[in-house]
Structure 1
Amino acid sequence: ATEEDARRLLVPEAWAMAYARTHGSFPPLAPAEEIESRTMTAKERALYERGLDGHIHGTEEQVTEQLETAIEETGADEVLVTTST
């Protein structure tokens, strides 16, 4: 998988969170293609972009590097990994 493939896996959850915070209900997860072609309000766009940030994702090598960096910077003894696909 590519870095872009991994990023696209974040899109449905990021949009659902943005939608829920602006409309008060959590919608069914939509395909990334549908979401990326959607016209969003400025507030929706800001929340959506925020929902894409802060996640470790990418190729195997990128994820390994990001995890190592996070562990080094935080001194964590363990890491909890969750997924949503």
Structure 2
Amino acid sequence: MSAPPKDFASAIEAVREYLTGRADITMRPAHNGHIPLFVLGTGSGLKIAARLGLPAVVGGPLLTAGPEAFDEYRSTFCPSEQLDEPYLIASTEIFVADSPSEARELSLPEAWAMSESRLTGAFPPLEPTTSLPDSLTQRQQRNVAKALAPVIAGTEDQVLSAISELLVRTGADEIMSTASTFDTTALYTSDARLAAAVAATL
């Protein structure tokens, strides 16, 4: 994660050569099909993805920023064997429930774990909301708020409206839901409701 952009770009090139069979070593077993390569658009990732002609996946705090970074990715994109045109995926946690408060509650275990990882350097197991502390330090509050900022949570109508806004703001070609919470049954229900809500708009 601390590698300079030049080394990061070189590593991506090495992986691409490996996947396309042009590296000094080859895959075992051999793979003759097309294996797509995506770049996580954090830090210098978007610029590198544009230069190498690769699709970019953007999530976290960058989703709440202005559109300048996304515009630069598109305007500086260089076509490659994998991709003729820029392709941007906006990745965020999406939760659907009967009320905004219920949906937001589903997002808390992951946000709390993210907050703790920033303080300890280790990502802890997700906990039920009943196990989370009642009061937080100012630093913990900031970290939780930062983790929750890009989250989309609410009823079906609210979530679809927020997704539309995200598409307009980022110009993303695809939305990736990466929701995670302690209650896996509630998560599966949320995902099913999200899928049904999206399908109803198609």
Task: Normalising by structure 1, report the TM-score.
Answer: 0.84
Q: Distance in 2 between matches of 1:74 and 1:43?
A: 29
Identity of aligned residues (%): 38
Alpha carbon RMSD of aligned pairs, Å?
1.5
The unaligned stretches of length 5 or more in structure 1 are: none
Cα shift readout 1:3-58 (whole Å, capped 9, x = no counterpart): 11110111001111111111222222111122252x32221121012111111111
Distance 1:36 1:61, change over 3 A: farther
Q: Distance in 2 between matches of 1:63 and 1:9?
A: 14
Q: Distance in 2 between matches of 1:2 and 1:58?
A: 6
The unaligned stretches of length 5 or more in structure 2 are: 1-97, 182-202
Q: Which has the higher contact order (CA 8 A, sep 6+)?
A: 1
Runs of 4+ in 1 over 3 A off after TM superposition: none
Query: Which amino acid in 1 is paired with 2:129?
Result: A
Match of 1:56 among 152, 163, 176: 152
Q: Distance in 2 between matches of 1:59 and 1:73?
A: 21
Instruction: Tell me the residue number matched to 2:119.
Output: 22
Task: Normalising by structure 2, report the TM-score.
Answer: 0.39
Instruction: Tell me the residue number matched to 2:141.
Output: 45
Aligned residue pairs total 84
More deviation in 9-18 or 25-34?
Answer: 25-34
Is 2:199 the counterpart of 1:79? no
Query: Which amino acid in 2 is paired with 1:16?
Result: A
Shift of 1:73: 2.3
Structure with greater proportional helix content: 1
